[in-house]
Amino acid sequence: MTDKNDEKLLDQYIENLEKKNIEVPTMLEERIKERIDKVEIKKKSINPFLSKVLVASLLLVTLFSASVRFFPGFAAYAGNFPVLRLAVDWLQGDSGTEHARREGYNQIPGFTVEKDSYVLKFDNIMLDEDRLVMSIQLFSEDQTGYDEDKRLEVRYTDFADSGGLQQLEYETETEAMIETREEKVFADNELREFLASNPDHINLEVVLSERGSQTIYEFGSITIPIDSEQILFSQKYSIATITNLEKGFLTLHNFTVSPTRMRLDVSFDLEDGYYFTRFENPRLMDAKGNVYQPEGLVSTNTSAVERSMFFVPSIYFDDIHTEMYFAFDGVWVGSEYDDTFTLSLNYEYPKSINFMGEELIIEQVSYRGSGNGEGYLHSAGDDLVIEIRKPENVWLENMEIDGEISSHAWSTGLDENGNPRPHLYGLNVEYRDEYEVTLLFSGRLMDGLQEIKMDLE
């Protein structure tokens, strides 16, 4: 995979995640505190404003992940998961902002903008050195109720990276056309530099568009009033702790404690041919055993070997902590040596392949309109469908053939014979006898439970 293909792969990966209504059972019951049987992914589209945003690899309680190996600088936003609810009402904020509010950290007063037949309502606005968050509701005289084909684009024009993260959006019982939770994550010192001139507001541009990016209405410049003296700044600690992993080293660099959440910056130095995919159940713990979990935006990355992870609630308002612990239940690591294989419509199936010492079973390969090519993903629009069984310690996010990124229907649990249920991968590729397949964002679980002490003195 070369750098010049990164943007193409990302665009197609996001497009395939969004273009079909696929019911996807979650594989992450351990990290989502309530069991979710099925989650519907509705249509989404990455818009031009969000294309410069935040480099987010794990989104919203990690329903899917995008590997830092291929996209060291990609933009994405949390999807439309109607059955998923955070610990507090989503319009009121995540539990990080809710905790800060309970501790007495002031919100910015909400306000309303009326333009022609539209009304924009801004509420639950909170600003610290780490992020600016708010809820936005759009009402229209011409339409009542949720419209899944329309979206709001928000640009933060005072900052070089003007994009933000649309953290959550789904149908509610109000009369709003759109309800969304917006988040702007600041780079190191970005807000401090902005506040140096003592501004009394932050500028936004808001655009209503169709999901295909066609502009419907531009609201023009909108200002959020701020009081620089009321903004609390982050507490920053240098950790510089190196931990041995099975395939290399993990380094904890900086730990940042902000009023609304905490951030841990890490990097990886793995053996040639291996790459980090994700942590299994990452969390922070204090000396008393209290646990701090990812929620909302889970992590971002600025290079192929660096990642920033976020945890809530924050210890900012607690008595001084002299130590914290970063814990996880393993590391998912991928291998360039095992991420390609050849399959053919003429092979006999089931057929086994090796992935990092584990056996994957290709149960069947089918093509639309040919033989058994009339399955679920075929009806959803995919031509080639690959059905694979894998052990629980292997993660296969997606596949790529000729630059086409697969859609993916997850399965959980065991079948009637006690075997893991198969996963389905669908691709729109031309019919031919043989295909070269590349596994994307995949890995094997290694290293087991780790608890790494972080001295904060």
Tens of pLDDT, residue by residue over 120-166, are 999 999 999 999 999 999 988 877 666 777 888 899 999 988 888 77
Question: Rounded distance, CA 103 to CA 319, Å?
Answer: 13
Which of 90-104, 274-288, 378-392 holds the top average pLDDT? 274-288
Residue the block writes with tokens 């089918």 = 366
Strands (E), 105-247: 111-115, 118-127, 131-140, 150-156, 165-169, 178-185, 201-210, 215-225, 235-245
Confidence category of residue 410, pLDDT binned at 50, 70, 90: low
pLDDT higher for 420 or 360? 360
H/E stretch holding 358:
strand 358-367
Sign of CA dihedral 89, 93, 96, 99: negative
- Sheet with 323-328, side-by-side order of all strands: 291-292, 283-286, 323-328, 450-455
Which pTM does this prediction carry?
A: 0.75
pLDDT at 173: 63
Residue 31: CB partners within 8 Å, gap ≥ 6? Answer: 61, 62, 281, 293, 294
For residues 150-185, one letter each, b for 16 or more C-beta atoms within 10 angstroms of the residue's C-beta and e for the rest, the string is bbbbbbbeebebbbbbbbbbbeeeeebbbbbbbbbb
Q: Which whole-number Å values give the CA distances from 38 to 7, 346, 421, in the listed order?
A: 30, 34, 15
pLDDT higher for 373 or 146? 146
For the chain, what is the mean pLDDT?
A: 77
Which of 320, 247, 316, 335 is CA-nearest to residue 69?
335
Task: Convert the pLDDT of each residue in 310-367 to its tens digit.
Answer: 999 999 999 999 999 999 999 999 999 999 999 998 899 999 999 999 999 999 888 8
Out of 13-17, 49-53, 436-440, pick the least confident.
49-53
pLDDT at 170: 53
Domains of the chain, with CATH numbers?
A: 235-330+449-455 (2.60.40.1640), 340-441 (no CATH)
Q: Are 390 and 358 in contact (CB under 8 A)?
A: yes
> How many CB atoms lie under 10 A from the CB of residue 106?
13
Q: Are 47 and 213 in contact (CB under 8 A)?
A: yes
